[in-house]
Structure 1
Amino acid sequence: MTALFNFQSLLLVILLTICTSTYAHSITPGIMDRNKDGLLGIFWKCARIGERLSPYVSLCCIFMAGSLFMGR
């Protein structure tokens, strides 16, 4: 099944995108700050979410890891 049809997998993909974008922005901020608009702007927005809501994102990561571990 693809991530679009399984809600838990879709949430996991979104969470991983936020975490990856935040990490990439901390390593190379200039590249992401230049691409605030357009298709690559999605990653800039995900990086902002990860930076500003980092406690909630980390709690979601822990929750998703627990639910994936317990579910399988």
Structure 2
Amino acid sequence: MSALFNFQSLLTVVLLLICTCAYLRSIAPSLLDRNKSGVMGTFWKCARIGERKSPWVAACCVAMALSILFWS
């Protein structure tokens, strides 16, 4: 089943995107900072969400991991 039709899979993909973009920005900030608009700006925005809301993103990652391990 596609991640678009399964809500849990969609949330997993979004969390992975946010975490990956934040990690890439911490390694190479110029890679994401030069594209702040357009389609590539989505990755910059995900990195900003990952940086600013990191406790909430971490809590969501733990909750998603627990739900995948024990309730799927």
TM-score of the two chains, using structure 2 as the length reference: 0.97
**AA in 2 matched with 1:20:** T
CA offset digits 1:21-63 (Å, max 9, x no partner):
0000000101100001111100000000000000000000000
Q: Distance in 1 between matches of 2:49 and 2:65?
A: 20
Q: Distance in 2 between matches of 1:66 and 1:13?
A: 16
Q: Distance in 2 between matches of 1:41 and 1:12?
A: 21
Query: What is the root-mean-square deviation in Å for CA atoms of aligned residues?
Result: 0.6
Q: Distance in 1 between matches of 2:27 and 2:35?
A: 15
Q: Distance in 1 between matches of 2:64 and 2:3?
A: 15
User: Aligned residue for 1:13?
Assistant: 13
Give the number of aligned pairs. 72
Q: Distance in 2 between matches of 1:38 and 1:67?
A: 34
Unpaired segments ≥5 residues, structure 1: none
User: Aligned residue for 2:56?
Assistant: 56
Q: Distance in 2 between matches of 1:6 and 1:71?
A: 15
Q: State yes or no: 1:44 paired with 2:55.
A: no
Alpha-carbon offset, residue 9 of structure 1: 0.3
Q: Distance in 2 between matches of 1:71 and 1:39?
A: 35
Identity rate of aligned residues, in percent?
61
Unpaired segments ≥5 residues, structure 2: none
